[in-house]
Amino acid sequence: MKISFYNGEFKNDDELRVKYQDRAFYFGDGVYEVIRYYEGEFFTLDEHLDRLMNSMAEIEIEGVSRQELLDIVTELKERNTIENGALYIQVSRGIQNRNHAYPVDVEPVVLAYINEARRPRTQSENGVHVITSEDYRWLKCHVKSLNLLANVMEKERAVKAGAHETVMHRDQVVTEGSSTNVFIVKNGVLKTHPANNFILNGITRLEVLKIAKQLGIETDETGFTVEELKEADEVIITSTTQEITPVVKIDDTIISDGQRGSVTNRIQEVFDANIHKLNLVK
């Protein structure tokens, strides 16, 4: 039986009751994180909690400490028997009758649950097809907000096109995917969009940049265009659950002869080693 957490209580899933007055439902008024763990051990936990606290500060949610969040995710993992999981945690502004203005004297509400998760080995080895689309989202994409309607619609656009992901762009400058960050490799240089308000500064994105530095791979965080995306030697999308996934086709353009590239291979090897170092995956 899975155990989840809501509004101060750990309960079996079939006993858990969510308040419909939670502002997460009315307005998407909250923020969230998805944290991976392997063989019972969290991966990049501190980075996820730091980003969650930053997102809360950005939308002025107060009343939940980092230590409280750490205690919740730690106990939730221990209460469940899932060895390889993705832990979802969200913090909403609280429970009140519908009113756009911030509520007064209302405590934030934390929701957390775990789903079993496996490493995306097939897509990591074979690569994926993505499509491109105009980025029409709001201008605070650095906040990991519950407001994901545009992302959902763009993901569905990819599904209907028989693709894995939609890569978005503003005025032909690539920002990110509907649920991923995007990198290209050109002439040995690893390029990605700068970490500003147009993208979420992904935890795996940061890991990839760190690995590139360790390997002596030149990086460029000034961004690139859709044209440069399609002319790249290699393309990678990254996220907590998708890890490091090579892109082998963009719209109708084949990338890297339809194979995972050499720079991607080098980064993937170190990423895997970082997990193995913690004795997480055999």
Nearest Cα residue to 238 out of 143, 124, 135:
124
- Six token digits for residue 179: 């649920």
Q: Distance from first CA to last CA of the chain, Å, rounded?
A: 26
**CA-to-CA separations, 246 to 40, 55, 92, 163, 184, in angstroms, rounded:** 27, 29, 34, 13, 10
Contact call for residues 180 and 239 (beta carbons, < 8 A): yes
In whole angstroms, give the CA distance from residue 262 to residue 282. Answer: 24
How far is Cα 177 from Cα 7, in angstroms, rounded to an integer?
32
**Enzyme catalytic residues:** 144
Q: Coil, strand or helix: which one is 272? A: helix
Give the C-alpha separation, 142 to 160, whole Å: 27
Long-range contacts of residues 95-100, Cβ cutoff 8 Å, at least 24 apart: 95/7, 95/19, 95/21, 95/22, 95/23, 96/21, 96/23, 97/21, 98/21, 98/26, 100/27
Q: Taking a C-beta distance cutoff of 8 angstroms, is the pair 280, 158 a contact?
A: no
Return d(Cα 191, Cα 130) in angstroms, integer: 18
